[in-house]
A and B are shown apart, each in its own frame.
Chain A
Amino acid sequence: MKPIYFDHSATTPLDKSVLKDMEPFFCDKFGNASSLHSFGQEAKAALEGARMQVANILNCQEKEVVFTSGGTESNNLALRGVVFGLLKKGHKKPMHIITTKIEHHAVLHTTEQLEEIFGFQVTYLDVDQNGLVDSKKLKDAIKENTALISVMYANNEVGTVEPLSEIAEVIKKTRDERKEKGVKLPIYFHTDAVQAASYLDLDVKKLGVDIMSLSGHKFYGPKGTGVLYVRKGTIIEATQTGGGHEENIRSGTENVPGIMGLAAALQLAEDEKKENASKVASLRDYLIRELPKKVSDVRLTGHPVRRLPNIASFLIDGIEGESMLINLDLKGIAISTGSACSSGSLEPSHVLKSLHFPLEKIHGSLRISLGKENTKEEIDYFLEVFPPIVEKLRNITGGIL
């Protein structure tokens, strides 16, 4: 039997049609988009075509689309770039940043560095047990010196979709108040939309965000490609300096084949969004319904309704995630877990910890993240092989907890 891939939040396969769109740009149309000659012009035209395609999907201007090397770089550039830009403009330290406890490490480790090295103040908002950020709490956290707010669109471990529009409203009010009072310090809204891209609306105007991160390999595009949307007028400084590419926000010869792939994949995701979202949601709901019938002491993590259509995440009592992962992989099923024993650092998932689950429960975390190629037969196979694995592992533990 063909191995079953249930780990699309980690990465997705490149869509074969996307590969076709990339191919000409490796060997034939290989020019440097900055070169003036015909080779360069050819690459430049392709690059700008891709930019237009992405801008259309995000409902923004072409100049607002910055191509990067992925979600991690986009998040780094968003946070550090804004902060550096404000410093350069003469805004005084200490400035304040608000984010949440359940962000990806690409955000959290960046804000930690901004605290440690640059003396920024950072508030890490709590979330409720479903992983939801409270926009009222966020409002209360805003201070006179708050310059940046970063809240993810959808969480990668439990799939909870955050109330971005509500948060945008709060930020808009603050902005208006500052305008009235003549306060010069801007307040920007960044969102990490890396997990949302395949299934949720990416219209930046509707979302009300100023800056948004995307990563190509999460929506059947190539790895090492990303986008940062930066609304016109946003103060942002390059963090990678050089030849002044990408409106001088991100230097480095553009990865033309990668960018072509990213744009094609995003277009495909946009075209198939409704269809794919409803397909994976019905598989997800089937799994969420059936699993507790086959395995005792299972609970769903994340929000019951406000969740990504493709993520089903659970805590399974009395078993450890790494043991579960290996057993499933030996049966040909790839999943992921937030268990401490499975992480290189032996730290349990910071997301599940922030959802207030005790350590021993987090041990039994299981994340199934579906993709458009998954089938009901695959879910049925999982439902068949998983219960005996749980039974076996619970037997090894045998009530000593």
Chain B
Amino acid sequence: MSNKGFGPYNEKVIDHFMNPHNLGEIKNPSGIGKVGNPTCGDVMQLHIKVEEKNGKEVITDIKFKTFGCAAAIATSSMITEIAVGMTLDEAKKLTRKDVSDKLGGLPPAKEHCSNLAADALHKAIEDYKKKA
């Protein structure tokens, strides 16, 4: 049932919304990013685990929790998919658009929700840098 679109959302968005990946928290995370959406007041939290691999800092684990609409939950899930395994330099370059493109696009009114995901990731990286 969940592999169909819904209203303005495509199949992929609904699939991530109904079966989100990497939900939860990491024990002793390397960095935490928590952001609120000023437009509608929604909240997202990302935990990342950063480890050294071949001399590079790599995101080896990532988990999210989100309070928000289907787009907010789907983009949260998607960014965890994209970012895991990336070096911090790669992850820093991820944008809102990368996330929404990967989801096959969001309805225009919901583009802003993907900001949450990108912002939370960048904040988590900053948090890690501060601690490191």
Contact = CB atoms under 8 A, between A and B. Distances in A.
Contact of A326 (B68, B70, B109): B70
Interface string A180-205: 00000000000000000000000000
| Size band of the interface chain A makes with B | 20 to 34
Contacts of A346: 39-40, 109, 112
Given A326-B6, A396-B73, A341 B68 contact: yes
Interface in A323-344: 323, 326-327, 329-330, 339-342, 344
Nearest to B1: A330
Contacts of A341: 40, 42, 68-69, 72, 113
B54 to A, nearest CB: 34
Interface in A197-240: none
A396 B66 contact: yes
Dominant SS among interface residues on chain B: mixed
Contacts, number: 71
B70 A322 contact: yes
Given A320-B68, A323-B69, A323-B70, A396 B20 contact: yes
Most A C-beta atoms less than 10 A away, residue of B9, B67, B109, B112: B67
A401 B23 contact: no
Given A341-B69, A346-B39, A397-B65, A323 B23 contact: no
B45 A400 contact: yes
B82 interface: no
Dominant SS among interface residues on chain A: helix
Nearest to B63: A398
A318 B23 CA distance: 16
A320 B65 contact: no
Contacts of B34: 400
Given A395-B23, A400-B43, A400-B45, A342 B6 contact: no
A360 B68 CA distance: 10
A329 B5 CA distance: 12
Interface of A: 318, 320, 322-323, 326-327, 329-330, 339-342, 344, 346, 348, 359-360, 363, 395-401
19 contacts: A320-B69, A320-B72, A322-B70, A340-B40, A341-B42, A341-B69, A344-B109, A346-B39, A363-B42, A396-B20, A396-B66, A396-B73, A397-B65, A397-B67, A398-B24, A400-B43, A400-B45, A400-B65, A400-B66
Given A323-B69, A341-B113, A396-B67, 9 more contacts: A323-B70, A323-B73, A326-B17, A327-B18, A330-B1, A341-B68, A342-B69, A346-B112, A396-B20
